[in-house]
Structure 1
Amino acid sequence: MKFGGTSVGDAGAIGRTVDILARYHAEGHEVAVVVSAMSGVTDQLHAIAAEAESSVEEPPIAAFIQALRAKHLKTLEAAAPGQAEEVGAVINERLVNLEHILTAVHALHELTQRSKDYIVSYGERLSALILSAAIRERGIPSTALDGCEAGILTTSKHGDALVLPQSDPRIHSRVVPLLMDGMPVITGYMGCTPEGIVTTLGRSGSDYSAAIVGRAIDADEIWIWTDVDGVMTSDPKIIADVRVLPYVSYREAMELSYFGAKVLHPKTIEPAMEKDTIVRVKNTFNPDSPGTVVRRQEQKEKRVVKAITHIARVALVNINGVQMIGRPGVAREIFTALGDAGINVMMISQASSQANISLIIEENDLPLALEVLSAPVKSGLVREVTSDRNVVAIAVIGAGMAGTPGISGRIFTALGQAGVNVMMISQGSSEVNVSFVVRQDESRKALQVLHDEFRLSEECKDE
């Protein structure tokens, strides 16, 4: 069971989380727990690390540490008063260490990716101590382990590391014995290289941690506890009448998580797929809600589209030139240059004339992408590169779309009748996802139109 930041955001939330854990422990289940940092803490750690590096004046490191100490000790004292002195001493020790590291970053005016990973991993290192203490307060044995102690070995790509296969036997040997009579609490989001250097798994990487631990200990199920009732048919902040999906397939969940559905991390599904492990998405604040079940089996419905999702803060890049027509190696040169610069290409579309390649990247990567792509312009390989920041990528997702004629027709007819202009279209061979790009100011209308077109707010019985 993985619990997100809002599930451990304060003493009240931790109390609800322990209620859930105690209930399943009493029923005889063996539960390994993976925990995120308290809500907001990771963002604060990123911010103070950046300020420590860049600030000419003395940055507010001491004040930050004091505020972090007060927040965690107050939560500890309310959630586990009997453990406050002993666990509080460990929290203080870790915060002193963090203060020293931040002070060194400021003194050197240098924040390496390695140092940043070490700093931002502290959110989970503190929350795991408190949750484990609160579990012990209920009379259930519990040990807090950081990702390294739990055996999670990763690549050395700081900020977005991948877990290595040799982690599984290490995790199994370290975590399973703790399940016999207790409930281990493992930090999400972090691991370490085989050399012992701390790494992080990318934002929202605690889901990925949970899936890795679940695979390694041969868990029957992996449960992701969050602050919503499950995977929705669309973004509830935009569409008023969204519905919780009772079932989604692995393929659908991967597409949804990649295309902006923040309930699951994109890397979560693959470890579960390897052992056909069921993943459940449930709400800590509404634990009796059935949530969403993610499994290999695809639920056959008369309505073939399951969800409409989107990614904001992206940029559209158009690469044009008649010189590209019939010339081998153009695409390779473009994508190699972008890849070497560390720029992830999220969507691709190429005209059959071969005179235009369009792609979607993260908005923050646009300045670097334009700089990188200036080289093929200067060499005459392409004529021009243009870009547009004011766009949103939208995806229509459903396993039932594969082999069903007319779905794309319905999508683009509905958008056309609503006056929404489509700037780019991309569809993979799996046919589970039809993706396209619209202007930012038309994105809400596009989402609502398609949610209505496929009647996603209505229950649909299985065939």
Structure 2
Amino acid sequence: MKFGGTSVGDAECIRRTVDILERYHAEGHEMAVVVSAMSGVTDQLHAIAAEAESSVEEPPIEAFIQAIRAKHMKTLEAVAPGQAAAVGSVIDDRLENLDHILTAVHALHELTRRSKDYIVSYGERLSALIVSAALRERGISSSALDGCEAGILTTNKHGDALVLPTSDPRINSRILPLLMNSVPVITGYMGCTPEGIVTTLGRSGSDYSGAIVGRAIDADEVWIWTDVDGVMTSDPRIIKNVRVLPYVSYREAMELSFFGAKVLHPKSIEPAMEKDIIVRVKNTFNPDHPGTIVRRQEHREKRVVKAVTHIERVALVNINGVQMIGRPGVAREIFTALGDAGINVMMISQASSQANISLIIDEGNLAEALEVLAAPVKSGIVREVTSDRNVVAMAVVGAGMAGTPGISGRIFTALGKAGVNVMMISQGSSEVNVSFVVRQDDSRRALQLLHDEFRLSEACDDE
């Protein structure tokens, strides 16, 4: 069971989380628990690390440490008063180490990716201590382990590390023996290299941690506890009549998570896929709701389409040139240059004439991408590179969708009738999604139009 930041956000939330764990423990389930940092703490750690590096004046490190200590100690004393002295001492030791590294960053005015990983991992290191203490307060044996102690080995790509296959036997040997008579609480989001250097798995990486632990211990299921009832037909912040999907396939879940659905991390599905482990998405604040089941089996509804989702803060890059036509290696040169610069290409569309390639990338990488693509322009291979920040990438998702006649026609006819201009279309052969790009000003209207077009607010008879 993995619990997100809102599920451990304060004392009341942690009590609710421990209520859930106590209930399933009493029913005889063996559980490993993975937790995120308390709400907002990771953002605060990123901010103080940046300030420590850049500030000419003395940064407010001491005030920050005291505020973080007060927040966690107040929560600890509320949920586990009998553990407050012993666990509080461990919290103080960890915060003293954090103080030292922040002070060193300020003294050197240098924040390496390695140092940042070490700093931002502290949110989970503190929350795991408190959740474990709260379990012991209820009479349930529990110990807190950080990702390194749990055996999670990763690559050395700081900030976005991948878990190594050699982790599984290590995690299994360390966690499985604990399950027989206790509930281990493991920090999400962090691991370490084989050399013992702390790494992080990317934002929202605690889902990934949960799936990795589940795979390693051959779990029957991985449960992702969050603050919504499950995977939804669209973004509930934009669409008022969204509905929880009772079932989605692994492939559908991966597409939805990649295209902006915040409930699951894109990397959290693959470890479960490898061993056919069911993933359940549940609501900590409404635990009796059945949630969403994610599994290999594809549940094909009569209407085929299951959800409409979107990614904001992206940029469209258009690469044009007559010299590109019929010239081998042009695409390779473009994508190699972007890849070498660490720029991820989210969507690709190429004209049949080969005179145009359109890309969608993260908006934050646009300046660097344009700089990288200046080389093929200078060499004459590419005539011009243009860009547009005011765009949103959208996806219509559903198993078997691309193989069903008329689905794409319905999508683009509905948008066309409403005057929504489609700037780019990208459809792969996965039969799970049709993705396209619209102007930012049209995105919310387009999302509602398609949600209504496929009547996604209504339950299907075959669900």
| Shorter-chain TM-score range | over 0.9
User: What SS does the aligned partner of 1:449 have?
Assistant: helix
Counterpart for residue 27 of structure 1: 27
Unaligned runs of 5+ in 2: none
Counterpart for residue 99 of structure 2: 99
User: What SS does the aligned partner of 1:48 have?
Assistant: helix
Instruction: Report the Cα distance in structure 1 between the residues aligned to 2:400 and 2:381, rounded to whole angstroms.
Output: 41
Counterpart for residue 166 of structure 2: 166
Counterpart for residue 327 of structure 2: 327
Counterpart for residue 250 of structure 1: 250
How big is the shift at 1:381?
1.2
Counterpart for residue 178 of structure 2: 178
Counterpart for residue 281 of structure 1: 281
Counterpart for residue 37 of structure 1: 37
Equivalences for residues 162-311 of structure 1 within 5 A = 162-311=162-311
Instruction: Report the Cα distance in structure 2 between the residues aligned to 1:461 and 1:225, rounded to whole angstroms.
Output: 28
Instruction: Report the Cα distance in structure 1 between the residues aligned to 2:117 and 2:61, rounded to whole angstroms.
Output: 17
One-letter amino acid matched to 1:423: M
Counterpart for residue 3 of structure 1: 3
Give yes or no for contact 1:299–1:462 (8 Å, CA) kept in 2.
no
Instruction: Report the Cα distance in structure 2 between the residues aligned to 1:29 and 1:288, rounded to whole angstroms.
Output: 17
How big is the shift at 1:57?
1.0
Residues 377-431 of structure 1, C-alpha deviations (whole Å, 9 max, x = no match): 1111101100000000000000031421111000000000111000000011112
Counterpart for residue 152 of structure 1: 152
One-letter amino acid matched to 1:314: V
Instruction: Report the Cα distance in structure 2 between the residues aligned to 1:163 and 1:402, rounded to whole angstroms.
Output: 33
Q: Could you tell me the percent identity over the aligned residues?
A: 87
How big is the shift at 1:300?
2.3
Instruction: Report the Cα distance in structure 2 between the residues aligned to 1:55 and 1:375, rounded to whole angstroms.
Output: 36
Residues 22-75 of structure 1, C-alpha deviations (whole Å, 9 max, x = no match): 000000000100000001000110111111111111111111111000000000
Instruction: Report the Cα distance in structure 2 between the residues aligned to 1:381 and 1:124, rounded to whole angstroms.
Output: 49
Instruction: Report the Cα distance in structure 1 between the residues aligned to 2:379 and 2:106, rounded to whole angstroms.
Output: 42
User: What SS does the aligned partner of 1:368 have?
Assistant: helix
Counterpart for residue 379 of structure 1: 379
Residues 301-341 of structure 1, C-alpha deviations (whole Å, 9 max, x = no match): 11100000000000000001101111110000001000000
Residues 199-258 of structure 1, C-alpha deviations (whole Å, 9 max, x = no match): 000000000000000000010000000000000000000000000000000010000001
Residues 321-374 of structure 1, C-alpha deviations (whole Å, 9 max, x = no match): 101111110000001000000100000000001010000000000010011111
Give yes or no for contact 1:152–1:163 (8 Å, CA) kept in 2.
yes
TM-score, normalised via structure 1 length: 0.99
Give yes or no for contact 1:301–1:400 (8 Å, CA) kept in 2.
no
Coordinate RMSD, CA, aligned: 0.6
Moved over 4 A (4+): none
Give yes or no for contact 2:35–2:206 (8 Å, CA) kept in 1.
yes
Instruction: Report the Cα distance in structure 2 between the residues aligned to 1:200 and 1:312, rounded to whole angstroms.
Output: 24
Counterpart for residue 415 of structure 1: 415
Instruction: Report the Cα distance in structure 1 between the residues aligned to 2:34 and 2:225, rounded to whole angstroms.
Output: 10
User: What SS does the aligned partner of 1:63 have?
Assistant: helix
User: What SS does the aligned partner of 2:63 have?
Assistant: helix
One-letter amino acid matched to 1:352: S
Counterpart for residue 142 of structure 2: 142
Residues 1-38 of structure 1, C-alpha deviations (whole Å, 9 max, x = no match): 00000000000000000000000000000010000000
Instruction: Report the Cα distance in structure 1 between the residues aligned to 2:338 and 2:54, rounded to whole angstroms.
Output: 27
Give yes or no for contact 1:172–1:217 (8 Å, CA) kept in 2.
yes
Instruction: Report the Cα distance in structure 2 between the residues aligned to 1:445 and 1:328, rounded to whole angstroms.
Output: 41
Counterpart for residue 312 of structure 1: 312
How many residues are treated as equivalent by the alignment?
463
Residues 75-111 of structure 1, C-alpha deviations (whole Å, 9 max, x = no match): 0000100000000000010001001000100110100
Residues 284-314 of structure 1, C-alpha deviations (whole Å, 9 max, x = no match): 0000000000001111211100000000000
Instruction: Report the Cα distance in structure 1 between the residues aligned to 2:349 and 2:139, rounded to whole angstroms.
Output: 58
User: What SS does the aligned partner of 2:65 have?
Assistant: helix
Give yes or no for contact 1:316–1:359 (8 Å, CA) kept in 2.
yes
Instruction: Report the Cα distance in structure 2 between the residues aligned to 1:400 and 1:361, rounded to whole angstroms.
Output: 27
Q: Does 1:405 align with 2:420?
A: no
Instruction: Report the Cα distance in structure 2 between the residues aligned to 1:261 and 1:203, rounded to whole angstroms.
Output: 14
TM-score, normalised via structure 2 length: 0.99
Give yes or no for contact 2:348–2:359 (8 Å, CA) kept in 1.
yes
User: What SS does the aligned partner of 1:37 have?
Assistant: coil
One-letter amino acid matched to 1:135: L
Give yes or no for contact 2:402–2:434 (8 Å, CA) kept in 1.
no
